[in-house]
Chains A and B, each alone.
Chain A
Amino acid sequence: MTRRARRPAGWPRAATLALIAALLLPAASVQAGPQAGPVVAVVSQQAGVVTLIDADAAAVLAEIAVPRVPAGIAASPDGRTLYVTHPDPGLVSRIDVAGRRLEASFRVGREPFGIAVIEEGRALLVTDWAGDALIRVDATTGRETGRATTGRSPAGIVVDAAGHAYVADRESQQVSVIDIAAMTRTATIATGRAPFALALSPDDERLYVANVQSGDLSVIATATRVETARVKVGLMPYGVAAMPDGRAILVANQQGGNVAILDAASNSVIARTRLGDYPEGIVALDSRRAAMASWAGDAVEILDIAGARGTDHIAVGAGPRGLVVLSAPGGDRPGFEVVRP
């Protein structure tokens, strides 16, 4: 059964307990303990807000207003800072997670869209949809510190541990591979039509690319930079996630209104379940569960992978697209002290 968790008028129970605990404990121990579930940050494009969600409690922790039409989102490795792109006004915003506040917005390129955090949070990589470039930005000052040419309309970006950025060049039907240290493109890899979102396997050996127009998933061997499989997944796949245990791949089919679950060993679709209304971004919470943005449903859906079903529905601001899990090194979740009014 689906539990419908709407933004409550009062405090959610878990938050109330956390608040009580916070009042009873010294400030230093207010940090979220092991009982705290993964925290998801989702960007709502129409509403112009970033919502923080406690995935276990299926509850909204905070809603933070940002400049208009935000699209992409990324978190620093310690989970304390979020960065959001705004393609229309050409901005990137920085959010202080603990303070629940917008710290700064700076101009980056022409239509900043996809974003990744690198160098332990000191720098950002931003795709410029209208500028056909990947731009490196100082995370503190917003100053551009490097630029590499990509194909046309670069959309999603992922970064591996070896210092490569993979950019989905939506209008060029390819992925550009960028050497981050040199900010130089070292390869391009052909994909299906309109590649948009990407995900890396936990060992960085395989790159998964969701091709929106051709409705398939490109599986690329990163060592050889060869597409080894192309799998039909559904209509307009806009989101892809690789599970941390390396066993399953999830694809959110936006027009299909469903999620495809693929077996990573065989690259075959093993389940497809209707979930959300125009689903887009999808991220793993752990190896059993994922969170997905339901763009037209104005919600985040929690997916139980083994059961291939939605378990929780959390209402958020209008038009959620991208989302990210806040995490800290060693698997600790960052400070979710208390929900402040």
Chain B
Amino acid sequence: MLHRLVRAVSLAVSLGLVAAGLAPLAAHGPTPQRAEETITIAASPDQVWKLVADFGSIGEWNPLVTKVALTGGSAAGAERVLTLAKGEITEGLDEVDAPAHRVSYRLLKENTEAIPVSFYTATIEVTPAGAGSAVRWDARFYRADTTNEPPEELNDAAAIAAMTDFIRQGLEGLKAKATAK
């Protein structure tokens, strides 16, 4: 079963002046957003953790990732370049907590064409659930255009939709991979 928990701020269109457009697009705007999804998988936590802990394996189970170039293995400090439908992004591995079955990573090089966010951190955690596992994938991020009046394709709603989709498809793919006969 897939739970969705997306924090959506009020998306009311504000009536203020059009932003002067001088703020750097790359800045991490002050209004963070979050997407969090959990999936249960009929496979042992150890089996699922093997996939999650292998930082370069995401291309094998997230259908939105067509190619992965990994440097530094699966230890903190490792980097992976993910090829998505509309371009590449680079992620860095921050922490691997093997006893807790938890990895934390972040976006190092944004590409708002590929995914409309300017920055994120994310954590994937595998816990026992009944005879199988529960996997929680959680991301905190900023919209692609952090100025006051972002265009629709670069606003908070676009960022939430894209991150939620990436996580949801990733979890479904992880489930399929972990339970494949």
Residues of chain A whose beta carbon lies under 8 Å from any beta carbon of chain B: 45-46, 48, 68-69, 71, 87-90, 110-111, 113, 129-130, 152-153, 155, 170-171, 194, 215, 235-236, 254-257, 278, 295-296, 318-319
Are A46 and B7 neighbours in the complex by a CB distance under 8 Å? yes
Are A295 and B24 neighbours in the complex by a CB distance under 8 Å? no
Tell me which of B12, B14, B36, B106 contacts A255 (CB under 8 A).
B106
Instruction: List which B116-171 residues lie within 8 A (CB) of chain A.
Output: 121, 123, 138, 140, 147-148
Tell me which of B10, B24, B30, B121 contacts A236 (CB under 8 A).
B121
Given contacts A110-B20, A110-B148, contact A235 B30 (CB under 8 A): no
- Residues in B with CB closer than 8 Å to A254 are 121, 140
Dominant SS among interface residues on chain A: loop
**Could you list some 8 contacts between A and B, CB below 8 A?**
A68-B9, A68-B14, A87-B30, A153-B24, A170-B28, A194-B28, A235-B95, A296-B140
Are A130 and B148 neighbours in the complex by a CB distance under 8 Å? yes
Apart from A87-B29, A90-B16, A255-B94, what are 8 other A-B pairs with CB-CB below 8 Å?
A: A45-B31, A46-B9, A68-B9, A89-B14, A111-B148, A129-B30, A171-B27, A278-B34
- Residues in A with CB closer than 8 Å to B147 are 130
A235 to B92, CA, bound (A): 12
In this complex, what residue of B is CB-closest to A234? Answer: B95
Are A255 and B31 neighbours in the complex by a CB distance under 8 Å? no
Min CB distance, B23 to chain A, in Å?
4
A104 to B14, CA, bound (A): 18
Are A295 and B32 neighbours in the complex by a CB distance under 8 Å? yes
Are B140 and A278 neighbours in the complex by a CB distance under 8 Å? yes
Q: Which 4 A-B pairs have the closest CB atoms?
A: A130-B23, A87-B30, A255-B121, A153-B27
Min CB distance, B131 to chain A, in Å?
27
A110 to B21, CA, bound (A): 11
- Residues in A with CB closer than 8 Å to B94 are 215, 235, 255
Are A296 and B34 neighbours in the complex by a CB distance under 8 Å? yes
Dominant SS among interface residues on chain B: loop
A152 to B23, CA, bound (A): 10
Are B104 and A255 neighbours in the complex by a CB distance under 8 Å? yes
What is the total number of residues of chain B having a CB less than 8 Å from a CB of chain A? 29
Asked if B180 CB lies within 8 Å of chain A CBs, one says no
- Residues in A with CB closer than 8 Å to B7 are 46, 296, 318-319
Are A69 and B9 neighbours in the complex by a CB distance under 8 Å? yes
Are B23 and A111 neighbours in the complex by a CB distance under 8 Å? yes
In this complex, what residue of A is CB-closest to B102? Answer: A257
- Chain B 32-57 against A: per-residue CB contact (8 Å), 1 yes, 0 no? 10101000000000000000000000
A295 to B9, CA, bound (A): 13
A153 to B28, CA, bound (A): 9
- Residues in A with CB closer than 8 Å to B32 are 45, 295
Asked if B19 CB lies within 8 Å of chain A CBs, one says yes
In this complex, what residue of B is CB-closest to A274? Answer: B100
Asked if B2 CB lies within 8 Å of chain A CBs, one says no
In this complex, what residue of B is CB-closest to A91? Answer: B16
In this complex, what residue of B is CB-closest to A319? Answer: B7
- Interface hub of A48, A71, A113, A255 (most chain B Cβ within 10 A): A255
Asked if B1 CB lies within 8 Å of chain A CBs, one says no
A295 to B95, CA, bound (A): 20
- Residues in A with CB closer than 8 Å to B106 are 236, 255
- Residues in B with CB closer than 8 Å to A110 are 19-20, 23, 148
A194 to B12, CA, bound (A): 30
- Interface hub of A87, A88, A319 (most chain B Cβ within 10 A): A88
In this complex, what residue of A is CB-closest to B26? Answer: A171
